[in-house]
Amino acid sequence: MKVSLRVQELAESATLAVASKTAALKASGIDVVGFGAGEPDFDTPEHIKAAATDALAHGLTKYPKPPSGLPETKEAIRLKFKRENGLDYGASEVMVTSGCKMACYLALQALLDPGDEVIIPVPYWVSFPEMAKLAGGVPVPIDSSDGQGFRFPADRIAAAVTPRTRLMILNTPNNPGGFVYSEADLRAAADIARKHDLAVLADETYDRLLFGGRSHVSFASLSDDAYQRTVTVNSGSKTYAMPGWRIGYAAGPQPVIAAMAKLQSQTTSGVAPFTQLALARALVADQECVEFMRREFESRGQHLARRLNELPGVHCSEPEGAFYTFPNVAGTYASLGVDGSVAFAERLLSEAKVSVTPGIAFGCDDHVRMSFATSMKQIDIGLDRMAAWLAPVQSPA
């Protein structure tokens, strides 16, 4: 049978591919230190699992009604947005999805027509450009490097807007960069969106995982105008260590959420009720479990960045949020005889048994992504291996 062109042209998720390859090597008995995982290494907290168990015991195993989300789950989402993000949504303006990835996919399907351009600051989450393409859109990546790190590239984005530009994607705290947009960054984005009448997809999946005393600012909270043009997405995956539960959520203008819900009714039919009630419990219960994980991630990220900066040819900014570092490893390429992040990652895995995700998947071939959603012990083992592997490499003058 012939496979459709849209799938033939679709890039595989690099992060899932790395995770699968690492798991396969481990299953075969090879000792690999994996820095590729985009999921917390903590177990889902017990009170969240108990909520699902209780729902199962009461027979909540049928289709969700309505497909857009159970009323009690929507209410918990509304309360979360109001309590933590300063956003006040009605029940018809929120929905539950099969992970944040599905929320992003549904939003782009609902908002884009063929040929519409989508502004995506680099580095970007691997799925954003591919999702835009699946919706018929044209990804327009915008370099956000300032030589030392990454920040919102307001001037470059303003220059890239055309009559076909329809939407801008904002992701803060950022995956893979580990940086956080300031309120000034977001206000610059809001000015561009208002001036050019752009829709905004605000991916705030890591909004609870912030370091150094930073606070999260939701884009939609900046003004009435930003509120009216934004779909905000989030999930239980990172905040509550629920990646395998596949549950996310979205909020935004009622017509857009209704369109997304219509698409969901014809695709996944919604999220299992027992999973929805587990998320509802997570959102309204005591949040100390989140703070515990946040503190652990913060100490790991600081340690990982410090050790990476001790390696020859490597420069790494300290992460400000999420659970990733995004070191620049281009200073090693000449000495290693590699031509980019894919070759670097392949040699690191085959020769040092350390797994990282090539930065080219995120639009930055000079970088690799390294998750610190793993134990401090594993971080040190992996960095010891990298140090030994890179010992012959000399830092550039």
pLDDT tens digit sequence for 106-117: 999 999 999 999
pLDDT at 377 over 90: yes
Query: What domains, with CATH codes, occur in the chain?
Result: 5-44+288-390 (3.90.1150.10), 46-284 (3.40.640.10)
Q: What is the pLDDT of residue 14?
A: 67
Where are the strands (E) in the chain, listed by range?
A: 33-34, 94-97, 117-122, 138-143, 165-171, 199-203, 230-235, 248-251, 324-325, 354-355, 357-358, 368-371
Q: What is the pLDDT of residue 349?
A: 93
pLDDT at 63 over 70: yes
Q: Specify the range with the lowest mean pLDDT, choosing from 32-36, 56-60, 140-144, 155-159.
A: 32-36
Residues sharing a CB contact under 8 Å with residue 328, sequence separation 6 or more, in sequence order = 314, 315, 316, 366, 367
Q: The pTM is what?
A: 0.94
Percentage, residues of the chain above pLDDT 90: 89
pLDDT at 308 over 90: yes
CA pair distance 275, 249, nearest whole angstrom: 12
Query: CA nearest 159: which of 200, 195, 116, 130?
Result: 195
When pLDDT is cut at 50, 70 and 90, the band that residue 388 belongs to is: very high
Mean pLDDT (whole number) for 306-326: 97
Residues sharing a CB contact under 8 Å with residue 38, sequence separation 6 or more, in sequence order = 15, 19, 175, 243, 324, 371, 373
Q: What is the pLDDT of residue 394?
A: 58
Q: What is the pLDDT of residue 11?
A: 78
Angle at the Cα of 373 from the Cα atoms of 370 and 376, rounded to 5 degrees: 95
